[in-house]
Amino acid sequence: MNRSINDKIMYGLIGLATAFTVAVLLWIISFVFINGFKYIDIDFLTSSYDSETRYVNVPITNEEDNKLGVDFIISEHDNTQYPVIKSINKSSKVSSSVTKNGEKYKVKKGDIIKKIGKQKTANLSIGEINNIINNEKTNSIQLKITREGEGIFPMLITTLLTIVLSLLVACPIGICAAIYLTEYARAGKLVRVIRFATESLSGIPSIIFGLFGMIFFVVFLKFNYSILAGALTLSIILLPVIIRQTEESLKAIPRSYREGSLGLGATKLQTIRKVILPNAISGIVVAIILSIGRIVGESAALLLTAGTVARIPKNLFTSGATLTVKAYAIAKEEGDIGMACAIGTVVIILILILNTLSKLISKKLDKANV
Write down the pLDDT at residue 68.
84
Asked if residue 25 has pLDDT above 90, the reply is no
Write down the pLDDT at residue 366.
64
Write down the pLDDT at residue 172.
92
Q: Is 135 helix (H, G, I), strand (E, B) or coil?
A: coil
Beta bridge partners of 55: 144
**Cβ–Cβ < 8 Å for 83, 34:** no
Please list the alpha-helical segments (H only) found in the chain.
2-36, 42-46, 126-134, 153-179, 189-203, 206-213, 227-251, 255-263, 268-271, 277-279, 281-297, 300-303, 323-329, 337-369
**Cβ–Cβ < 8 Å for 311, 284:** no
Across 267-291, average pLDDT: 84
**Cβ–Cβ < 8 Å for 293, 323:** no
Non-local (6+) Cβ contacts of 32 within 8 A are 341, 344, 345, 348
The candidate with the shortest Cα–Cα distance to 157, out of 315, 332, 276, 41, is 315
Asked if residue 1 has pLDDT above 80, the reply is no
- Kindly state the greatest CA–CA separation across the chain: 99
Asked if residue 219 has pLDDT above 70, the reply is yes
Could you give the dihedral angle defined by the CA atoms of residues 182, 185, 188 and 191, in that order, rounded to the nearest 10 degrees? -70
Non-local (6+) Cβ contacts of 77 within 8 A are 112, 146, 148
**Cβ–Cβ < 8 Å for 344, 350:** no
Write down the pLDDT at residue 227.
92
Asked if residue 239 has pLDDT above 70, the reply is yes
Asked if residue 2 has pLDDT above 70, the reply is no
Q: Is 162 helix (H, G, I), strand (E, B) or coil?
A: helix
CA dihedral over 9, 11, 13, 16, signed as positive or negative: negative
For the chain, percent of residues with pLDDT exceeding 70: 97
Write down the pLDDT at residue 269.
85
Non-local (6+) Cβ contacts of 105 within 8 A are 54, 56, 97, 98, 99, 145
How many Å separate Cα 28 from the centre of its chain?
20
